[in-house]
Amino acid sequence: MSWSKLKQQLESFLCPALDGRVEYRATGYRYLPDKAGLCYISVDKKDVLRMNDRTSSIKWYGAELEIKNDPDIQIPVSNEEMETARKNTKGTVPEDRLKVIARNRKITEHAKELLSAQASLSKSNFVATANKFLSTSIEESIESDDILLNILALVDRRVGKKRILNMSEKMKLKHPIVQYFYELRRSTC
């Protein structure tokens, strides 16, 4: 599918409040027709997402330690995770320390997932991911670990106000760029 048709299809799925605000753009190279160029998403005429662009205002993590030390990341710990930590320590650790242990384990898992998602985004082909989005269900795109699929689903008109508002807990565990688009969509509801 040509870029213009793909762009037209993607923009036809934008929710009405974001229509005209969110744009999909691509650069092409005249003398390199086999090269895809650079694809990016802009909001209000400002480039927000370029694949792995460290100059953007969105935080890109370089190491697991950066994620662990980021005060903006708030990870809730469930009772099941506390019980797992209690079993692993054979019940000899105080309750407040158990919570720290469980939280640190969850942060480590979360950090690995975020770095993996960032790595796949920097290697991904925008056009291929956009085609995948158009051919899969909206539920799959929202639940996916792919950052770009999450973004495309969040700005989609098929995701309603009630569903957006019910996603707040899930979004805390997503990459900052996904959280940015979630807040953008939530502000239009």
Strand order in the sheet with 46-50: 22-26, 39-43, 46-50
- Give pLDDT, residue 120: 65
Angle subtended at Cα 49 by Cα 44 and Cα 53, rounded to the nearest 5 degrees: 135
The secondary element (H helix, E strand) that includes residue 48 is strand 46-50
Q: Could you report the per-residue pLDDT of 10-31, keeping only the tens digit for each?
A: 999 999 999 989 998 877 655 5
- Give pLDDT, residue 159: 92
Q: Could you report the per-residue pLDDT of 129-173, keeping only the tens digit for each?
A: 888 999 999 999 999 988 889 999 999 999 999 999 999 888 888
Tell me how far apart the alpha carbons of residues 173 and 43 are, in angstroms, rounded to a whole number: 23
pTM (two decimals): 0.71
